[in-house]
Amino acid sequence: MRTLIASAAMMMASMASASTLTLPTGFYAMEVNGAPAQQQGRTLELGEGKQVVTLRYINPYISHPESNDFYTSKPQYLVFNAGTGEMQLVLDERRQFDPYAADLKFHIQANGRKVAMKRYSGHSAIAAALAD
C-alpha cells in the first residue's frame, strides 16, 4: 500500500515538474530522447533537464514545383534544457523561407525569452554525437 502511494506521489510530482513544447503549424515531433514522441495536437510533453527532440517540418505553404508534394525538411535534432512550464517553438521568417536556397530558421522561447539550444541535422548530428 505504501509503495502504491509513494509511486502515485512520485508520478504526480514528475507531472507537475514537466514542461511542454508547443509546435507551430507544419512541425511534427518524431522522438524525444530517443523514444517515440507523445504529441497531443500541437503540444509535446517533456521532462525536466536536457532534452533531445527530433522533429520535421512539412511546409503547408510551399508545395514542390514538380508535384503535389509539400516540402519536407530533413530530421532536425534540437538539444536544450527544459525547465518547468510552457515553451514554444517559433518559426522565423516563414514567408521569406525558400526551402531550396535557405535554411529553416526557428527558435525556442519560454516566458518571452529565447531558450539556448543546439540544432543538428544530417551528418552534423552524427559528428556531434561522436565528438562527445
Q: Report the C-alpha gap between 21 and 36 in whole angstroms.
A: 15
Q: Is the pTM of this model over 0.75?
A: no
Q: Quote the Cα angle for 66-67-68, to 5°.
A: 145
Q: Report the C-alpha gap between 104 and 90 in whole angstroms.
A: 11
Q: Report the C-alpha gap between 84 and 127 in whole angstroms.
A: 30
| Confidence bin at 78 (pLDDT 50/70/90) | very high
- pLDDT recorded at residue 100: 54
Output Rg (C-alpha) for the chain, integer angstroms: 17
What single letter denotes the amino acid at residue 44? L
DSSP-derived 3-state class of residue 126: helix
Q: What is the number of alpha carbons within 13 Å of residue 9 lying toward its C-beta?
A: 6
Over residues 46-69, the mean pLDDT reads 77
Whether the pLDDT of residue 12 is over 50: the answer is no
Whether the pLDDT of residue 61 is over 80: the answer is no
Q: What is the tens place of the pLDDT at every residue in 85-128?
A: 899 999 887 655 555 555 678 899 999 899 999 998 876 776 67
- pLDDT recorded at residue 68: 61
Over residues 9-29, the mean pLDDT reads 70
Over residues 52-62, the mean pLDDT reads 80
Task: Give which of 28, 21, 97 is closest to 56, Cα–Cα.
Answer: 28
